[in-house]
Amino acid sequence: MFTFGRDKEKVSHVALLKYALALCFTIVAMIVYIYPSIRATSLMYEYSMEIRKLSDVKERNKALRLKVASMRSLDLIEKKAMTDMGFVIPAEGQVVIIAKK
pLDDT in tens, 52-75: 999 999 999 999 999 998 888 888
Q: What percent of the chain has pLDDT over 90?
A: 50
Measured torsion, CA atoms of residues 2, 26, 24, 31, in degrees rounded to the nearest 10: -130
**Residue 62, phi-psi category: left (phi > 0), alpha (psi -120 to 50), beta (remainder):** alpha
Is 18 part of any domain?
Answer: yes
Is 60 part of any domain?
Answer: yes
| Full-model pTM | 0.51
Q: What percent of the chain has pLDDT over 70?
A: 92
What's the total number of domains in the chain?
Answer: 1
Domain that residue 40 falls in:
13-83
Rounded to whole angstroms, the Cα distance separating 35 from 43 reads 12
